[in-house]
Chains A and B, each alone.
Chain A
Amino acid sequence: AQTVTQSQPEMSVQEAETVTLSCTYDTSESDYYLFWYKQPPSRQMILVIRQEAYKQQNATENRFSVNFQKAAKSFSLKISDSQLGDAAMYFCAYRSAGGSARQLTFGSGTQLTVLP
């Protein structure tokens, strides 16, 4: 079974600065997908960014980018120009490319605080 580890339970960043959230995963599969979700205090789960393992290019969505290191099984999220609205719990998640179920396996989350 796959496991996802987020080793930073809490992080903080100054507004307008850059922060990187870490995620590592364990799998024997060669093809899979990785996701970052954001959960603000409203409890809503919001997709931030996704990465296909077969793509070498790191995904980017506006101020959010990932550093995907397949050999190291690492998938970190970089938030540039941090804004107060980025304060949330962030979850890293893994999905196998095989099968039809498409369930996600989540890490334990990183609580991000943005300081004004």
Chain B
Amino acid sequence: NAGVTQTPKFQVLKTGQSMTLQCAQDMNHNSMYWYRQDPGMGLRLIYYSASEGTTDKGEVPNGYNVSRLNKREFSLRLESAAPSQTSVYFCASAGYGTHNSPLHFGNGTRLTVT
């Protein structure tokens, strides 16, 4: 019962490098999300995909792009990493049902940009 799987778990980048964070869920969920977590700021929404084929900006989208590859997969790309993007990144998913259904989270990716 994998749930939401994120890769990699840890990553160190130099300023200006690019990378893609991968996320996959096996719960047949329609909606998927990318959050970043910074000390004292909680989790902030970067991008989300309400359903396959759609993506929308969240609260802090600058410097990121996303791709909803199919229903299972939702990737987050940093084209030119900056130290301000040092953070822990979480992918999450939610099913299409009642609105009280919780988000299911991956275990996070700790990204350091030097």
Which A residues are closer than 8 A to B by beta carbons?
4, 6, 9, 33, 35, 42-45, 47, 50, 52, 91, 95-97, 99-109
In Å, the complex CA distance between A104 and B45 comes to: 8
Nearest chain A CB to B28's CB is how many angstroms away? 15
Contact of A104 among B50, B103, B108 (CB under 8 A): B103
The residues of A that contact B90 with a CB separation of less than 8 Å are 45
Which B residues are closer than 8 A to A by beta carbons?
30-31, 33, 35, 40-45, 48, 50-51, 56, 58, 88, 90, 92, 94, 96, 99-103, 105, 107-108
In Å, the complex CA distance between A103 and B56 comes to: 11
Which residue on B lies nearest to A45, using beta carbons? B105
The residues of A that contact B35 with a CB separation of less than 8 Å are 106
Structural contact, B31 and A106, CB atoms closer than 8 A: no
The residues of B that contact A104 with a CB separation of less than 8 Å are 43, 45, 103
Tell whether A101 pairs with B31 under 8 Å between CB atoms, given A91-B43, A106-B42, A106-B43: yes
Nearest chain A CB to B95's CB is how many angstroms away? 9
Structural contact, A9 and B40, CB atoms closer than 8 A: yes
Structural contact, B48 and A108, CB atoms closer than 8 A: no
Nearest chain B CB to A6's CB is how many angstroms away? 8
Nearest chain B CB to A35's CB is how many angstroms away? 6
Structural contact, A101 and B50, CB atoms closer than 8 A: yes
Tell whether A102 pairs with B40 under 8 Å between CB atoms, given A33-B100, A43-B88, A50-B100: no
Structural contact, B44 and A102, CB atoms closer than 8 A: no
Q: Which of A9, A45, A95, A102 has the most CB of B within 10 A?
A: A102
Contact of B42 among A35, A91, A102 (CB under 8 A): A91
Structural contact, B102 and A107, CB atoms closer than 8 A: no
Which residue on A lies nearest to B108, using beta carbons? A43
Contact of B102 among A47, A52, A100 (CB under 8 A): A47
Given known contacts A35-B102, A45-B92, A100-B50, what 11 new A-B pairs fall within 8 Å (CB)?
A43-B108, A45-B105, A96-B99, A100-B96, A102-B31, A102-B94, A102-B101, A103-B48, A104-B103, A109-B40, A109-B42
